[in-house]
Structure 1
Amino acid sequence: MLFLFTLAAASLAAAGSIQDVEHIVLFMQENRAFDHYFGTMAGIRGFKDPNVQVNNGTPVWYQNVDAALSTKTDSLLPWYLNYLGGTWENATQCMEAGSNGWSPNQAALNHDLNNDWATQNTPWSWAHFTRAELPNHFAIAEGWTVGDMYQQAVITSTNPNRVVWASGTINEPDGGVYIDNNETPGCESPDLNCYPLTWETTAQLYENAGVTWQVYQDTDNFDDNPLAWFQQFQQAPNGSALNKQGMSYIGLESFYKDAAAGTLPQVSYIIGPAELSEHPPYQPKDGAWLQQKIVDTVTSSPLYNNTVLIISYDETGGWGDHVVPYHSPSGTPGEWIQDPYGEAGYVYTGPGFRLPFYIISPWTRGGYVYTGKSDHNSQIKFVEEVFAAKGKNVKTPVMNAWRREFMSDLTLAFDFEHPDYSIPSMPNASYPSTNSKGQWNGYAVCEAKYPTQRPPVPYGQQNVNTALETEEGFKAVRGELSEGRYLTFEMNGYALTDTNGKLTATKATSTHNTASQRFVVYEANSTLPVFTIKSAQSVNSTTATVQNKKSSAPSLAGSFQILDMGNGTGYSVQQVTGKKYLSINKNGAVQLGKAPAGFSIFSVTYNS
């Protein structure tokens, strides 16, 4: 791979490097998809995706609708859950969409056509919220760095995804694939969903390497602690490290106290209570309170200057996403199986659909979008990189080879040389409802007050422009580049510009909203950072060419390797043929040269 650049391999200076990370907090919520939460966000791969997949002339925005669903239309566009207003904004907080199981999600994916969410899951699977319902989620994600290509590890339900989060594998092909929530001793059939699990977890690697760690959970943990599904933890003696740190119920209050006292371990796992997990019918607004509580706890801790908080979700919960999962080629060992349920045929187990994902730390502060292709293995890889820089080997041997090579390690989401310790202003999150015993009951109150939580599906009432309406704005890009956004390339106060079909540079603006300065990248190779670049004004015509007074430069439609050089130094844009680097000099002239130059790239979302 051309982009095997890791900060762990960079200078081992005591400051301004990944070595500065001392504490990692891993907090995983439940069952929401990226489009469902953030499809309308500006500056990300959302409902303005210029690279959206098209099947026989039909973009995947248009999901199949059959007569059993409606005779008014044969397709369903993304739709806003609260389009009718009124009390729906309250009722939809506790609604359920579809199934998160293996079979309905493989059926919705439809062998990468990704067009059967309405017919094979539910029409509500294709619906979404906006900032109005998720003010804290948006504020946290945009206050620091949001990832828009973070995928679930397995195209199925909670347990397998959390098992990958805690170990790096679902045990394929080493002795029985785990793709369901089975917690009954034995196997559902030979080599299928065998329980308990027996392979080594990352927590054990941390323990053996002398890395301190702790699971923080209450007794009401929604059975979301994946370590509890492993035999070695079930059989761990009282008082042992695996028992005390992995199986005890010390409570989230202990996390709050440890953070305030500056006594957090090096790796913390946060397992929230069921009612605050955001798993339908549990309410997003209640989960928002818990997320804000965790963020406030971390950012007010004396340890914050050296802490990374990663907030993720385990799987989509039956909510759909328009991006066809980035996955391995057919036949890749450990990644492809014959559907054991006899329905989907030969399929990949994952990575699956995109999930909400954001990273809170001084090195990710500032409203960035991280575009690297990632899944739950990426969190493991990040922890590995942090401790490798400290001379500790916590590299798991059970992660599948393809995931280890092609899932990002998240390090390029960080600018370790320029930390920003400021804390953004956050909206107030309402304290969740409780009953007379102090138990969370927001979802129950919601269900009692609103017996119908699912709004009517707007069959035959949709307009593509309003259905795909988003917020306007931009985010600076970090990480390995991927498709799905309108981009500006800026350097020395200028931006690459399509001027009547010729590539020039014109003055950049603070809002990055000049239409002629927008470009779209297309992957020339899904495993290498090589792209063709086209003007957004000419994506269906001949692409602009570089104009250079001294030499005839090649067409911008040629392939370019685009690399994030790390730590805020920008992106190099190099010809694959010719090996010269694109740049803009201080006078605004577009040039090709021998030395890499760093472009700032912005992901922009505007209606014009």
Structure 2
Amino acid sequence: MPLLWSIILIICLESTFAYADSLEDIDHVIIFMQENRSWNHYFGTMAGVRGFNDPNVQVNDDGLPVWYQKVDPTVSPDAKTLLPWYLGYKGGSWIDAIQCMVAGGNGYEDNQASLNHDLNDNWVRNNTPWSWGYYKRSDIPVQFAIAESWTSGDMYQESHITSTNPNRVALVSGSVNIPGSPQGPDQGGPYLDNNETPGCDKRNINCYPLNWKTIFEIYEEAGVSWQIYQDKNNFDDNPLAWFQQYQNAPPSSPLAQRGMAYLGLDAFYEAAANGSLPMISFIVGPTELSEHPPYIPKDGGWLQEKVVDSVTKGPKYSSSMLMISFDESGGFGDHVVPFHSPEGTPGDWMEDPYGKFGNIYVGPGVRVPFVMVSPWTRGNRVFTEHADHNSQILFIEEWLEAKGYDNIRTTEMVHWRREHMSNLVGALDLNHPDTSLPNLPKAEEPAMLDGKYMGTANCEAAHPIKRPPVPYGQQSNISDCLWFEEGYKEVVGYLTEGRYLVFEKSGHALTNEGNAEQLSSSPAYADHSDEKQRWVIHDSDDALFRISSALDGKWLGPDGSLLPIEEADRAADIQIRFLGNGQGYSLQYADSTLIEIDTQGSLIMKGSKASAKGYKIWSISYHQRR
């Protein structure tokens, strides 16, 4: 689906705010990538996101939604399936023990086997039952608060279905050199694991070092200032160190001084405090604060908060964008089957070199946490576009071009990713920047001894057994397993499936009164909780959706009609167009007839000329009251 983002750069002259910004007004972009957590594992219970309240969950040919992961009888005779489960369900000391728990394998083979050719049903059998476990807000309060204070992306995916190094390489170059990529066979790769031994493995893959061009070399040539901020204790997480040109760079060269030097995170905090950050900063955190299991999330939350505070309380926050992401899922599963390219797409598909999976796509993979912190993403919003680590490159390209830089688009990125992954610009409301700051919960400072972080060591010493008992045969109440918080988020970006939505305009919302045969409008609720105003979108074709009512399953048909469930084949194709910059969304039939609510709150069908301001859409999470 093409990305129609030119409208995002339009400045709305009718804004009631004193001024409007553009991408050009951003002066600093900060990239901060943590380690090894999946979206469901961290944020599946969060209100207003695509999580455990997903109305579009995949149902496989065996009739089971992917919530139900297969269990081998040799593992447990008490259950044939395992639902998602709260890791701290037993309470007591387990609440602390699960902080330093390891779930399963995060490598290529484990995760391809778990995804099982898009059936996505083998996380228990081919990884571990703990792979299907999750945290709640009480376990990661800082991460929740940051996500809910700004904009989270609930369709942001790891770039590759494998471990750390390939995903971080994608973040700084746009490729891992799968056959058909822009790189040649003598430039390293295909990079599917964490190999850092010179040469290729016995399958003639994972060839190391890599030697294609990274984004930072492009920025250096264009005169864009940049810096890697890392300590020597960096978990070997600086992806530039895996490229030959950085390894061989003279000590006085920009590649060495900006890409390989150990300035330390204190240098980042100081630069943020005095307003001297470069245009692009890349933060590599210490091992113990990385959130990579068994390193505890609450220590990683402290680091996240410290980085956020440094940026938001610095003098340049009004012109800064901080992007917090995770490189890969860490052996934790996710219920959303990856959005990926068609079979045979160059640079994304290959014959499995391990001889286990046949012809497979190597990415994008499962969803991982992603948050954008800036004045243009302030507020409890959810960004719904398909994105992956390439999206951060695409965002920087759009931003630098807006600032007048030339020749900053990498030619190393896999073509399909450039064409189909979001450039993230739609997450920004450039007309209404908001520099107010939330009151984040105060993170507990990590325990230290002799200058070393001890949080994980203390946790492991206190809890010889970190993995709680798996609740096989104890999941009779699916609502307890698929637990989620109630609430809502404003939606931004082009729409994707997976949420209950409320469409509001002029103080009213699109409504299914229940016994009616026609769509109507009714006064909106402050908490957007009326079930009669709740809708589900279903992918149709070519950026069109069919829409059903969450109240009774009726389909929106021609001319505002509401059709019985069994008449799904008569459901209308609806285009839901994102207008950007706080202007909301327009809804229209394929024949261009618009579905509008006028200023008096009345529902009208009109011609193809849309109002200047569209619907505000809310993604809501409420339990059924019936």
Q: Same fold (TM over 0.5)?
A: yes
Aligned to 2:484: 470
Summarize the alignment of residues 507-522 of structure 1 with structure 2, pairs less than 5 Å apart. 507-522=523-538
Q: C-alpha deviations, 1:213-267, integer Å up to 9, x for none?
A: 0000000000000000000000000111000000000000000000011000000
1:156 aligned to 2:162?
yes
1:29 aligned to 2:30?
no
Task: Summarize the Cα distance change of 1:368–1:542 in structure 2 as closer, same or farther, 3 Å threshold.
Answer: closer
Deviation at 1:2, TM superposition (A): 5.0
Aligned to 1:434: 448
Task: Summarize the Cα distance change of 1:37–1:556 in structure 2 as closer, same or farther, 3 Å threshold.
Answer: farther
Q: C-alpha deviations, 1:146-173, integer Å up to 9, x for none?
A: 1100000000000000000011111122
Which of 296, 301, 309 aligns to 2:314? It is 301
Task: Summarize the Cα distance change of 1:12–1:474 in structure 2 as closer, same or farther, 3 Å threshold.
Answer: closer
Deviation at 1:555, TM superposition (A): 11
Deviation at 1:538, TM superposition (A): 3.1
Aligned to 2:565: none
User: SS where residue 425 of structure 1 aligns?
Assistant: coil
- What residue ranges of structure 1 are gaps of 5+ in the alignment? 549-553
How many aligned positions are there?
598
User: SS where residue 461 of structure 1 aligns?
Assistant: coil
Which of 539, 544, 553 aligns to 1:523? It is 539
Task: Summarize the Cα distance change of 1:190–1:457 in structure 2 as closer, same or farther, 3 Å threshold.
Answer: closer
Aligned to 2:5: 5
Q: Distance in 2 between matches of 1:117 and 1:28?
A: 25
Q: C-alpha deviations, 1:164-223, integer Å up to 9, x for none?
A: 001111112232411110000001146511100000000101101111000000000000
Which of 186, 190, 205 aligns to 1:192? It is 205
1:168 aligned to 2:174?
yes
* Residue range with higher mean Cα deviation, 4-13 or 167-176: 4-13
Task: Summarize the Cα distance change of 1:7–1:224 in structure 2 as closer, same or farther, 3 Å threshold.
Answer: farther
Which of 111, 119, 138 aligns to 1:113? It is 119
Q: Distance in 1 between matches of 2:235 and 2:54?
A: 35
User: SS where residue 358 of structure 1 aligns?
Assistant: strand
Contact 1:216 1:252 survives alignment (8 Å): yes
Aligned to 1:532: 546
Deviation at 1:543, TM superposition (A): 4.2
Contact 2:2 2:420 survives alignment (8 Å): no
Summarize the alignment of residues 370-381 of structure 1 with structure 2, pairs less than 5 Å apart. 370-381=383-394
Which of 55, 59, 81 aligns to 1:54? It is 59
Which of 92, 96, 116 aligns to 1:90? It is 96
Deviation at 1:3, TM superposition (A): 3.7
Summarize the alignment of residues 412-561 of structure 1 with structure 2, pairs less than 5 Å apart. 412-435=426-449, 437-462=450-475, 463-499=477-513, 500-501=515-516, 502-525=518-541, 528-539=542-553, 541-543=554-556, 546-547=559-560, 557-561=571-575
Contact 2:546 2:555 survives alignment (8 Å): no
Q: C-alpha deviations, 1:491-545, integer Å up to 9, x for none?
A: 11100001224210000011000001000001113xx431111111233x55466
Q: Distance in 2 between matches of 1:542 and 1:574?
A: 15
Q: Distance in 2 between matches of 1:244 and 1:122?
A: 42
Deviation at 1:595, TM superposition (A): 1.4
Aligned to 1:129: 135
- What residue ranges of structure 2 are gaps of 5+ in the alignment? 14-18, 562-567
Contact 1:8 1:18 survives alignment (8 Å): no
Deviation at 1:7, TM superposition (A): 5.7
1:342 aligned to 2:359?
no
Task: Summarize the Cα distance change of 1:400–1:191 in structure 2 as closer, same or farther, 3 Å threshold.
Answer: farther
1:183 aligned to 2:189?
no
User: SS where residue 54 of structure 1 aligns?
Assistant: coil
1:591 aligned to 2:607?
no
Task: Summarize the Cα distance change of 1:415–1:555 in structure 2 as closer, same or farther, 3 Å threshold.
Answer: farther
Q: C-alpha deviations, 1:124-155, integer Å up to 9, x for none?
A: 00000000101100000000001100000000
Contact 1:481 1:529 survives alignment (8 Å): no
Q: Distance in 1 between matches of 2:282 and 2:367?
A: 22
TM-score (norm 1): 0.96
Q: C-alpha deviations, 1:414-473, integer Å up to 9, x for none?
A: 0011000100011010000111x1211111111111000000000000121111111000
Contact 1:545 1:555 survives alignment (8 Å): no
Counterpart residue identity of residue 188, structure 1: D
Contact 1:146 1:358 survives alignment (8 Å): yes
* Residue range with higher mean Cα deviation, 187-196 or 83-92: 187-196
Task: Summarize the Cα distance change of 1:337–1:135 in structure 2 as closer, same or farther, 3 Å threshold.
Answer: same
Deviation at 1:601, TM superposition (A): 0.4
Contact 1:139 1:426 survives alignment (8 Å): yes
Contact 2:12 2:431 survives alignment (8 Å): no
Contact 2:237 2:284 survives alignment (8 Å): yes
* Residue range with higher mean Cα deviation, 110-119 or 165-174: 165-174
Counterpart residue identity of residue 21, structure 1: I
Contact 1:324 1:353 survives alignment (8 Å): yes
Counterpart residue identity of residue 423, structure 1: L
Contact 1:12 1:19 survives alignment (8 Å): no
Q: Distance in 1 between matches of 2:231 and 2:474?
A: 46
Deviation at 1:596, TM superposition (A): 2.0
Contact 2:546 2:572 survives alignment (8 Å): yes
Contact 2:9 2:23 survives alignment (8 Å): no
Deviation at 1:407, TM superposition (A): 0.2
Q: Distance in 2 between matches of 1:411 and 1:256?
A: 26
Contact 1:487 1:518 survives alignment (8 Å): yes
1:389 aligned to 2:402?
yes
Q: Distance in 2 between matches of 1:249 and 1:383?
A: 24
Contact 2:8 2:580 survives alignment (8 Å): no
Q: Distance in 1 between matches of 2:65 and 2:12?
A: 47
Q: Distance in 2 between matches of 1:358 and 1:596?
A: 31
Aligned to 1:332: 345
Task: Summarize the Cα distance change of 1:486–1:480 in structure 2 as closer, same or farther, 3 Å threshold.
Answer: same
Q: Distance in 2 between matches of 1:529 and 1:370?
A: 17
User: SS where residue 272 of structure 2 aligns?
Assistant: helix
Counterpart residue identity of residue 46, structure 2: M
Summarize the alignment of residues 254-403 of structure 1 with structure 2, pairs less than 5 Å apart. 254-393=267-406, 394-403=408-417
Aligned to 1:551: none
* Residue range with higher mean Cα deviation, 154-163 or 387-396: 387-396
Contact 1:7 1:18 survives alignment (8 Å): no
Q: Distance in 2 between matches of 1:569 and 1:25?
A: 27
Contact 1:546 1:590 survives alignment (8 Å): no
Counterpart residue identity of residue 538, structure 2: Y
User: SS where residue 458 of structure 2 aligns?
Assistant: helix
Aligned to 2:263: 250
1:406 aligned to 2:420?
yes
1:574 aligned to 2:574?
no
Summarize the alignment of residues 228-243 of structure 1 with structure 2, pairs less than 5 Å apart. 228-243=241-256
Task: Summarize the Cα distance change of 1:235–1:542 in structure 2 as closer, same or farther, 3 Å threshold.
Answer: closer
TM-score (norm 2): 0.93
Counterpart residue identity of residue 516, structure 1: K
Q: CA RMSD in A?
A: 1.7
Q: Distance in 2 between matches of 1:211 and 1:2?
A: 29
Aligned to 2:564: none
Aligned to 2:25: 20
Task: Summarize the Cα distance change of 1:93–1:333 in structure 2 as closer, same or farther, 3 Å threshold.
Answer: same
Task: Summarize the Cα distance change of 1:571–1:198 in structure 2 as closer, same or farther, 3 Å threshold.
Answer: same
Deviation at 1:280, TM superposition (A): 0.4
Counterpart residue identity of residue 4, structure 2: L
